[in-house]
Chains A and B, each alone.
Chain A
Amino acid sequence: MTSFILILLASIFFTGIVNRVKSITSGRKGPGILQPVKDVIRLFKKKPIYSKTTSFVFQVAPGIYFASVIMAIMIIPLGELKGIISFDGDFVFFAYILGIGKFFNIIGALDTGSSFEGMGASREALFSMFAEPAFFILMGSFALLTNHSSFQEIFTSMHFGSSITYVLGVLATIVLVMIALVENSRMPFDDPKTHLELTMVHEVMVLDNSGFDLGLISLATNLKFAMYGALIANLYMGNFPLYLTIPIFLGIQFMFAISVGILESFTARFRMNRNPQYILVLSSVSLLIFLGVLLVLGEFR
């Protein structure tokens, strides 16, 4: 429960911080940190417009997407504290519940019959498909390392005793940050601020959403960011007491947000047709982690 509330809390500020960092680095005054939340509230009050082409799928899709993100957040633990949902193999449930959200997101986009939204949907499906093995190899390696298979148990028993596990933690951070960027369609993979539909991924999928639906989608995006931040934070928490884990959690979320902001300010978007290759690199990094785990366990003797 604690982690759930903390993630909700972090999500309020997360995108705001990212935007603030971006505005500072580019020398603009920029909006306040709470601006994304205000945007969502404004969207909730707005009248939605629907295309004549759309069917009920378009109307239910954002809700189910949002529900899936909420379910996924419930699974995330905080150090020793379990998430609301916790059982052996819960990370599989985590990946697949996010999967169903994505499924509805994609068919919601296809429901508009637009020539652009299908493109975004296709890219989203392709990119997340390539990111999936990386996540599973990563979690499989940690399961091998810790002999556990639920988030909370894996994270608490990832004793950073030998020096290699620190390296593994860093590598895992890289993988998780990259997965977070892919899943949230952020900078090196997708430019959320681009104005050309042809080069968008996520933004083009929600072109026709408006009002409450669009509010739900942007809320879900904020939540997803904080969720991945929480996962990364968990890598470093171990079994620390609560008065340490909460500062660590907030600190890592803050650092994550700042680094996303800096990354977005100083890098250009990858070429679209190169994206799958970049994402496949994640799988090889995960394989490195796997080999590292084998090393730690002394399997190569």
Chain B
Amino acid sequence: MEAFELTIGSLTLVLLSLIAIPLLPIKHKATGGLILVVLIAILSTIPASKALFQNSTYQFRYETGYSPGNISIRIDSLSAWFILIINIICISGALYGKGYLKAYLDQKANISIHWILFVVLQMAMLWVCMAQQGLVFLIAWEIMSLSALLLLMFEHEKIETLNAGIRYLVQTHLGVILLTTGFIWLYSAEGSFEFSAIDKFFRHHPNQWLFLLFFLGFGFKAGIVPLHTWLPYAHPAAPSHISGVMSGILVKMGIYGILRITTFLHTGFFQIGTGILLVAIITGLYGILNAAMHRDLKRMLAYCTIENIGIIFLGMGIGLIGKATGNLVLASIGFATALLHTLNHALYKSLLFFTAGNIYQQTHTRDMEKLGGLIKNMPGSGLMFLIGSIAIAGLPPFNGFVSEFLLYTGIFIGIKSIGVHYVTIMITSFASLALIGGISMLTFTKSFGTIFLGNPRTEFHRQPREVSLAMLLPCFLIICIMLSIGLLPQFYFSLVQNVVQLFVPVVSTEINFIPAALTYSLAAIGKYALLFILLSITILIIRKIISRENTKPAVTTWACGYPAPTPKMEYTGKSFSKSLGKLLNFIVPEGKKYKEIQTGEIFPKKRKYASHYMDVIETKIFNSIIDRMLYSLNYFKFIQNGKIQAYILYGIFFIVLVFIGTIFKLI
């Protein structure tokens, strides 16, 4: 199939969604959306898989004669990798959303627009990956951001959703401003918006500044600390399948952008690599620490996304340092890790968001401290959440371990091969990666334990039940892919190597510079992960045989002799992570709302105690800046006075200004 047909076909499908979905009866809108998503996925997967497996690049240029108007599209292996991830997550997201939105079937218009936007979002993300020209890219980027905004504001009647939407809107556009500036700079220097012009630019100019501009611009989307503050609001507000898609791939589009710019770099690898590595360490540690503290399930997952973005950047930084030192093995492991972790995270994070959606649908709360013992009511969702937790904590036998193992190996090779100042960075990343692993284990044992284990902490009017099979099915699919990565990592690693070639140009294809030992190690972790599963099963079978007719009747949990324990006495999630929070309270401070009893108060009145963990960067840095800004901007309030006449007057002023400007040749 030609790339031309791909573009036309994709646009047709979006138009079809605009027409068809509103016309479908309410029950079938979701099916219509799903079918369109699958069609788009098939349409884009064919060229993408060719680009990835056979290294055949798809190109299409539409010349208009006026250079900024040229449209050029290209699917190389990097685009292909992201396109495949987008398709996997979008299909499972649509499949899940079909079940999840059944509860909202009374909102006819809302559902229609939701499914149209879902199709538009998928298409816009695909175009972001395909576009090779700044303007097309920015337009696709903007459509993607806006459709995501409207998707996340599904429950727009809630104030917190509006709040989250505005945050997302503002921050995503701050990013767009930076990106636009970057492309304008490019245009003024090279006279072209084409991506190939970036390559030219980087050849003649110092690389750091333009890269920094793009890095920050994409960083807003990727959610690097300190540009992350929209994530913890947007993810909880969105419906779960949208959170899954947002966290799974929308955020990754920022990663894609940075990776794409990285392919053009010619100099400054060391500064950029070190910078990225530092940002990555901070992002990872900050994200997971906050995740450990929060009790809102989806907020916790959002912070955990930030942590994983940190891990992806860790890989990228190592790759760049590898390029800086000319160590090709290090470079290719670094980039391979970044790419593989992008896939891994997309898989398990959407899985976790989907199960979070199951919980929310059944209990209508996201507060972990109100849940408990759900595994008895929802065994399927519980098992899936457990698998997601194990994977995200980076433990074998699932896929999270594969990318962490690669990262450790990469850092290892880094330690061995380079000078003392690199070694210090490497050992720091080594230690922080270990620490991140430890904290994420704490976070997810806490979350799983609080939500699914023990006794229910609140009585629900309607007992939570297992969700429908249709909602569990996408989770099953994701788990299958996850397990395949965990057990056959060498296959995925060699697949990713096709993409890595873009970053680490191979001199000749015959020389395989990936050491055989690494491939062997990867095969080994897959093999031994399987051995571990088999060993566990064997032990459990032995246990079953031995204690078959050997079980005494169930009793209550031992409570040190106290005969009437209640669910209120259970250990809460907050207390589980409290000791960590206390130790690191300069990073995760606890805000308390409580009025101390005064000495004059003879009969103390009823009072409330509330505490919550705060995001230091948001509350201490951003809020104070915004407060100052508001203080000075208050003086200009008279401009926005709500009178239409005044606004029309501004328009006239503007026109006059432009008129005078042209007369005096100022513009």
Contact = CB atoms under 8 A, between A and B. Distances in A.
B535 A71 contact: yes
B551 interface: yes
Interface string A257-301: 000000000000000010010000001000000100010000110
Given A89-B409, A117-B571, A53 B445 contact: no
A96 B521 contact: no
Interface stretch (A133-141, A170-178, A235-243): A133-141
Contact of B435 (A71, A106, A129): A129
Given A63-B540, A132-B438, A136-B434, A143 B412 contact: yes
A63 B541 CA distance: 9
A93 B486 CA distance: 13
Given A115-B571, A119-B571, A67 B435 contact: no
Nearest to B540: A63
A110 B423 contact: no
A103 B571 contact: no
Contacts of A128: 438, 441
A300 B579 contact: no
Contact of A115 (B395, B543, B565): B565
Interface residues of B, number: 88
A133 B517 contact: no
A149 B531 contact: no
Interface stretch (B126-134, B165-173, B305-313, B446-454): B446-454
Contacts of A68: 532
B556 A52 contact: yes
B107 interface: no
Contact of A47 (B448, B531, B539, B552): B552
Contacts of A135: 434
Contact of A93 (B379, B396, B442, B576): B396
B445 A48 contact: no
Contacts of A63: 536, 539-540, 543
Given A132-B434, A300-B420, A55 B442 contact: no
A103 B396 contact: no
B430 A136 contact: yes
Given A88-B518, A121-B449, A53 B442 contact: no
B427 A113 contact: no
A111 B454 contact: yes
Contacts of A64: 536, 539-540
Contacts of B468: none
Interface in A91-108: 92-93, 95-97, 99-100, 102-103, 106-107
B550 A113 contact: no
Interface string B530-573: 01100110011001001100111111111110000101011110
Interface in B421-440: 423, 426-427, 430-435, 437-439
A54 to B, nearest CB: 8
Contacts of B415: 140, 143-144
B430 A140 contact: yes
B517 to A, nearest CB: 5
A110 B453 contact: yes
A64 to B, nearest CB: 5
Given A85-B524, A112-B557, A48 B551 contact: yes
B405 interface: yes
Contacts of A117: 557, 571
Interface in B510-531: 517-518, 520-521, 524-525, 528, 531
A87 B521 contact: yes
A49 B546 CA distance: 14
B551 A57 contact: no
Nearest to B445: A106
A50 to B, nearest CB: 5
Given A44-B546, A112-B454, A144-B416, A89 B408 contact: yes
A100 B580 CA distance: 20
A29 to B, nearest CB: 31
Nearest to B518: A88
Nearest to B405: A92
Given A122-B576, A290-B427, A114 B571 contact: yes
Q: Please classify the interface of chain A as helix (H, G, I), strand (E, B), loop, or mixed, using the class held by over half of its residues.
A: helix
Contacts of A137: 427, 430-431, 434
A13 B438 CA distance: 31
A136 B431 contact: yes
Interface stretch (A30-38, A160-168, A207-215, A245-253): A207-215
Nearest to A277: B583
Given A52-B555, A63-B543, A273-B579, A147 B560 contact: no
B524 A87 contact: yes
B163 to A, nearest CB: 33
Contacts of A97: 396, 532
A50 B551 contact: yes
Contacts of A197: 560
B442 A129 contact: yes
B577 interface: yes
Contact of A121 (B375, B423, B445): B445
Contacts of A123: 579
A116 interface: yes
Contacts of A294: 420, 423
Contacts of B441: 99, 102-103, 106, 125, 128-129
Contacts of A121: 445, 449, 571, 576
Nearest to B523: A87
Contacts of B553: 49
B504 interface: no
A107 B454 CA distance: 10
Interface in B339-397: 372-373, 375-376, 379, 382, 386, 390, 393-396
Contact of B552 (A49, A99, A115): A49
Q: Chain B CB within 10 Å — which of A103, A117, A128, A294 has the most? A: A103
A93 B404 CA distance: 10
21 contacts: A47-B552, A53-B556, A55-B376, A67-B535, A87-B524, A97-B396, A103-B441, A107-B386, A113-B372, A114-B558, A117-B571, A118-B571, A122-B442, A122-B571, A133-B435, A136-B430, A137-B434, A147-B416, A149-B412, A212-B546, A283-B431
Nearest 5 pairs of A and B residues by beta carbon: A118-B571, A129-B438, A113-B454, A110-B449, A136-B434
Interface of B: 372-373, 375-376, 379, 382, 386, 390, 393-396, 401, 404-405, 408-409, 411-412, 415-416, 419-420, 423, 426-427, 430-435, 437-439, 441-442, 444-446, 448-450, 452-455, 517-518, 520-521, 524-525, 528, 531-532, 535-536, 539-540, 543, 546-547, 550-560, 565, 567, 569-572, 575-580, 582-583
Interface of A: 44, 47-57, 60, 63-64, 66-68, 70-71, 85, 87-90, 92-93, 95-97, 99-100, 102-103, 106-107, 110-119, 121-123, 125-126, 128-130, 132-133, 135-137, 140-141, 143-144, 147, 149, 197, 207-208, 211-213, 216, 273, 276, 283, 290, 294, 299-300
Given A113-B570, A115-B559, 4 more contacts: A63-B543, A110-B454, A113-B453, A137-B431
